[in-house]
Amino acid sequence: MRLSRYFLPVLKETPSEAQIASHRLMLRAGMIRQEAAGIYAWLPLGLRVLKKIEQIVREEMDRAGAVEVLMPTLQLADLWRESGRYDDYGAEMLRITDRHNRELLYGPTNEEMITEIFRASVRSYKDLPKNLYQIQWKFRDEQRPRFGVMRGREFFMKDAYSFDVDEEAGRRSYNRMFTAYLRTFARMGLTAIPMRAETGPIGGDLSHEFIVLAETGESVVFCDERVLDLPIPPDDVDYEGDLTAIVDQWTTLYAATEDVHEPERYEREVEPAHRRETRGIEVGQVFFFGDKYSKPMKAVVSGPDGVERPVQMGSYGVGVSRLLGAIIEASHDEAGIIWPASVAPFGVGILSLRKGDAAVEAACEKAYRALTAAGKEPLWDDTDERPGAKFASMDLIGVPKQLIIGPKGIAAGEVELKDRKSGEKKNVSLEAALAELTAA
């Protein structure tokens, strides 16, 4: 992408409403724009990152055997009356009336609708297990939205729902999602710790929240810090096999949110040297809730014995838009965002230090073509901004590698190659720089 043709409204000054680093940086980097309390427009840079995160989540869901669907954002109130949640959910649910005076709602979650979809088609245990997921906008009318996309009212979420014939099979589905989540967050450069959690309005008796440790998080958490060093399941983890060992390994060391924290057990099980009491950002939560929805909504299958029974369900959420905030909280410095390569909006920044200089333009053009061909998604700053402004903007938006091409370097047969994270710079020939950047 040539910056001169892009839409990247970076701000030199910090908008006054932003209190935490990720919110400030997302506004300054021109990723989002607030349109109402807790409601944001996604500008091109923010959308690129959102799509990358979405795609990682999708790949890991698919790998774990889940199947993607897309449900509408608006749902009929009658559906929620079946489960009894229409009246229970409260003011957080945005209720809408259409021209025929029908009651609708903007979905805050989709257990009812997915149960309705499932029951319409599935009758036999032979069709199980099934796991359906979607990545779709949700709306929860929070009393107090804050922290930018970390706690918006409208947010982008992956929600998966598992259906099994009995509780034992349901636990296997739960373990598959648990394992997939470990991989998903690790691919984004995050260490997300599964912690025992309350189930809240979703219901059920088995649930873990995946928490990224951060001082600016909203949840207070207690854990054995050795959990931070546990191994992430590999690419070829066998989702058809028994994942109990992985889940046990990750749930044996103490880790709990404040709501379910047991101080006595914590002090008994965790040596003082390993205790970690901090705050965290919830980026995902998994639930197993059995027949909470299938029973009232009559989602039943016939078992091997010919007897109909409610399916055993679980639901599994990942806050896709919230993850942008979490990643930035975990990875930034004074100058701006430091994207992990897997979610970076652009792979390489090309800084043309002198617009109009034929030799500089030619070198930039060559680099741009080579990097584009190699799939490195270069962002070429071909504007006539001053060099200092270009350096500052490129650091702010966090492009991992920067190729700096100016008249002095070209005259000496060199370009500058800079790593955003380490700040290391070196002068090499253009060919050497391109060889390094296009490798791997």
Partner RNA sequence: CGGAGUGUGGCUCAGUCUGGUAGAGCACCGCGUUCGGGACGCGGGGGUCGCAGGUUCGAAUCCUGCCACUCCGACCA
Residues that bind RNA (CB under 7 A): 10-19, 34, 36-38, 92, 108-109, 138, 140, 142-147, 151, 157, 159, 198-202, 218-219, 282, 284-285, 287, 317-319, 335, 353-354, 385-389, 391-393, 395-396, 404-410, 416, 418, 425
| Residue 157 Cβ vs RNA, minimum distance, rounded to whole Å | 4
| Residue 390 Cβ vs RNA, minimum distance, rounded to whole Å | 8
* CB closer to RNA, 325 vs 409: 409
* CB closer to RNA, 14 vs 124: 14
Work out whether the CA dihedral 269, 275, 277, 282 comes out positive or negative: negative
| Residue 101 Cβ vs RNA, minimum distance, rounded to whole Å | 23
* CB closer to RNA, 18 vs 243: 18
| Residue 363 Cβ vs RNA, minimum distance, rounded to whole Å | 10
Parallel/antiparallel/unpaired status of strands 130-139 and 67-68:
parallel
* CB closer to RNA, 296 vs 387: 387
| Residue 62 Cβ vs RNA, minimum distance, rounded to whole Å | 19
286 in Cβ contact with 207 (< 8 Å): yes
The two three-digit tokens of residue 193, written as one number: 């710790």
347 in Cβ contact with 373 (< 8 Å): no
| Residue 187 Cβ vs RNA, minimum distance, rounded to whole Å | 18
| Residue 306 Cβ vs RNA, minimum distance, rounded to whole Å | 35
| Residue 357 Cβ vs RNA, minimum distance, rounded to whole Å | 9
| Residue 58 Cβ vs RNA, minimum distance, rounded to whole Å | 16
330 in Cβ contact with 295 (< 8 Å): no
* CB closer to RNA, 125 vs 138: 138
